[in-house]
Amino acid sequence: MASTKELEQQLAELTRLLASHGIAAPEGREPEGPRPDYVPFGSPQHAALLGLVEVAKDEDTEGLATFTSPTSNRVFRLVDENEPLRAYPAMDPDKSAKIVLRQKVNELEGGAPPVPDGAPPMWRPADIP
């Protein structure tokens, strides 16, 4: 596997080769506005990504596993009720549904994970379509 320095040299050589043929590499630019592929922690998009649905007050949830968040008192259910059965096939279905729901709701409402000490700076893509 090539090292970072070798890859940088290859990139510089390719850029020089393209320039010699009249092909200019696009200049890196900082994207304007929010990134289109970013999902904020705790947002409705984050809940959908996790497979959670917030239960409305008048929604009938009989027969569905639900979990009430201890921090926000919001009630959630799973989009796919069979997901816990695939994750924990030998466990009681009700117990596995509660475990999966608790894990997902805690992830949704836990916020962004902390950055470890000594971590390199976050990579920012230069060219976002």
Three-state secondary structure string covering 57-101: CCCCCCCCCEEECCCCCCEEEECCCCHHHHHCCCCCHHHHHHHHH
The larger pLDDT score, comparing residue 32 to residue 51, is at 51
* Whether 89 contacts 83, CB under 8 Å: no
Q: Can you give the pTM of this predicted structure?
A: 0.67
pLDDT digits (tens, 9 = 90+) for 43-76: 999 999 999 999 999 999 888 999 999 999 999 9
